[in-house]
């Protein structure tokens, strides 16, 4: 057993009675500790990481989900990456801890896409760890710790709260992600794409996470203007904030009479509303969720890395697909289709956005047979920059010659 590097406080058992002894509601500031920040990071580095910090010279991907890093000291570290559903229980975390204790001296890390990574220093432990991980399944049959997410794969889907915890979503997050990843599972554990494909989901257009800059983005959208609760609005909203919350100036102050009393409220110019939901974020009396109206838009072609081309926003290509819980078949089918056409046509190293820009959007819509609609034509402020101000285009089946 290697020497412990972490704060000894973590070896002291949790005392479930201590907080009640320390916290006195009559003197709330007594015994209060504040502004201590996070635990210092390096106490949780596995010894090989701590020793070789800043000394790594190269790496290779041995197989999908397995990386090997070499240090200038001659040390190596093997990394096994596993998918997780992000929404996890303490028992799932404890199982991760069991695995970490058994093979990795208790050390484990999470990635920026909510995968987990185990570190070992020899091949024998590596094989034992992988065999163990592959055998762990939930009672329903799903893998607990699928290995993959490296190289030219589809890795984990960065996603949001959905119907599990948020008040403004137009779709669910965890359910859609599970449905999509089940369908694309073969791509998580393989390296057969032209480049890595980042899929992200946001359940409303606040776009918590990475939807605006992902290869494929799943975005919850509304299609009906908000309701206005005249009898409640003054009690729960600051009306000027609701008015200022509208990107299109569609909300105006108004006065209505209820039971002989004049009440301040708002009116929504429905023709100017594009259902962003930001007024509801600011004002609880303007709900807009709607089972039939809400659904999902698909965007493609975004990226954050600076590799070859500059970072790009994702662009809207499918304006609406219905919410179809629990498996969202239309969304799952559309994403697989986009991925397969990309896999077939793109060149090595081309991200989805790089490929589309090379062939042209008109060609992409023709290749994918995704119907092009007016909804993909920008009409917000700087929209003009997205129009085709040249004669450079390809003739595709969209052009009807008369």
Residues 141-160 contacting other proteins, CB under 8 A: 141-146, 150-152, 158, 160
Kindly state the smallest distance separating residue 268's Cβ from other proteins, in Å: 16
Shorter beta-carbon distance to other proteins: residue 142 or 255: 142
The Cα 398–Cα 370 span in angstroms is 11
Please tell me the distance from the alpha carbon of residue 345 to that of residue 355, in angstroms, as a whole number.
8
Q: Quote the least distance from Cβ 247 to other proteins, whole Å.
A: 5
The number of beta carbons lying within 10 Å of the beta carbon of residue 30 is 9
Span interacting with other proteins, options 251-259, 260-268, 322-330, 385-393, rule CB under 8 A: 322-330
Decide: is 22 part of the binding site for other proteins (CB under 8 A): yes
Nearest distance from residue 218's CB to other proteins, in Å? 14
Among 47, 134, 212, 224, binds other proteins (CB under 8 A): 212
Interatomic CA distance for residues 221 and 171, integer angstroms: 8
CA distances to 17, 130, 351 from 30, in Å: 17, 49, 55
**Binding to other proteins in span 213-272, by CB under 8 A:** 213, 241, 244-245, 247
Which string of b and e fits 220-249 if b means at least 16 CB within 10 Å? Answer: bbbeebbebbbeebeeebebeebbebbeee
> Which parts of 150-209 interact with other proteins (CB under 8 A)?
150-152, 158, 160, 162-169, 172, 174-175, 178-179, 181-182, 185, 188, 190-194, 196, 205-209
* Interaction of residue 309 with other proteins, rule CB under 8 A: yes
Give the binding range for other proteins (CB under 8 A) out of 122-130, 320-328, 355-363, 391-399.
320-328
Distance CA 376, CA 380 (A): 11
Asked if residues 204 and 168 have their Cβ atoms less than 8 Å apart, the reply is yes
Least distance in angstroms from the C-beta of 395 to other proteins = 28
How many Cα atoms occupy the beta-carbon half-sphere of 68 within 13 Å?
12
Q: Could you say which of 19, 257, 387, 400 contacts other proteins (CB under 8 A)? A: 19
Residues numbered 379-398 forming contacts with other proteins, rule: CB under 8 A = 380-382
- Total residues contacting other proteins (rule CB under 8 A)? 155
Find, among 180, 167, 240, the residue nearest to 208 by Cα: 167
């Amino acid at each position: 057993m290697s020497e412990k590097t972490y704060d000894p406080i973590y070896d002291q058992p949790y005392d479930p009675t201590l907080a009640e002894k320390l916290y006195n509601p009559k003197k709330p500031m007594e015994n209060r500790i504040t502004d201590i920040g996070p635990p210092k990071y390096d106490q949780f580095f596995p010894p090989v990481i701590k020793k070789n910090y800043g000394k790594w010279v190269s790496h290779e991907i041995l197989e999908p989900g397995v990386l090997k890093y070499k240090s200038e000291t001659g040390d190596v570290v093997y990394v096994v990456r596993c998918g997780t559903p992000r929404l996890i229980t303490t028992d799932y975390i404890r199982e991760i801890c069991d695995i970490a204790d058994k093979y990795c001296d208790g050390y484990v890390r999470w990635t920026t896409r909510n995968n987990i990574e185990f570190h070992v220093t020899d091949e024998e432990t590596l094989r034992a760890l992988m065999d163990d991980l592959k055998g762990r399944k939930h009672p329903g049959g799903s893998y607990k710790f699928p290995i993959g997410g490296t190289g030219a794969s589809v890795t984990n889907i960065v996603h949001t709260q959905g119907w599990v915890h948020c008040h403004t979503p137009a779709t669910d997050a965890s359910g859609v992600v599970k449905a999509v990843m089940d369908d694309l599972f073969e791509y998580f554990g393989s390296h057969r794409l032209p480049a890595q494909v980042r899929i992200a989901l946001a359940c409303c257009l606040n776009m918590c996470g990475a939807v605006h800059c992902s290869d494929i983005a799943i975005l919850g959208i509304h299609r009906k203007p908000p309701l206005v609760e005249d009898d409640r609005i003054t009690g729960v909203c600051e009306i000027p904030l609701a008015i200022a919350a509208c990107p299109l100036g569609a909300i105006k102050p108004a006065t209505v009479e209820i039971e002989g009393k004049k009440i301040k409220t708002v009116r929504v110019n429905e023709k100017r509303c594009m259902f962003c939901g930001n007024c509801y974020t600011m004002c609880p009396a303007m709900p807009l969720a709607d089972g039939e109206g809400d659904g999902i838009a698909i965007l493609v072609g975004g990226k954050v890395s600076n590799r070859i081309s500059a970072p790009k926003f994702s662009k809207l290509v499918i304006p609406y697909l219905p919410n179809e819980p629990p498996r969202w078949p239309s969304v799952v089918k559309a994403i697989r289709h986009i991925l397969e056409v990309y896999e077939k046509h793109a060149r090595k190293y081309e991200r989805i956005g790089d490929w589309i820009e090379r062939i042209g959007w008109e060609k992409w819509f023709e290749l994918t047979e995704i119907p092009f609609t007016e909804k993909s034509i920008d009409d917000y402020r700087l929209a003009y920059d997205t129009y085709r101000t040249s004669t450079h285009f390809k003739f595709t089946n969209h052009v009807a010659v008369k």
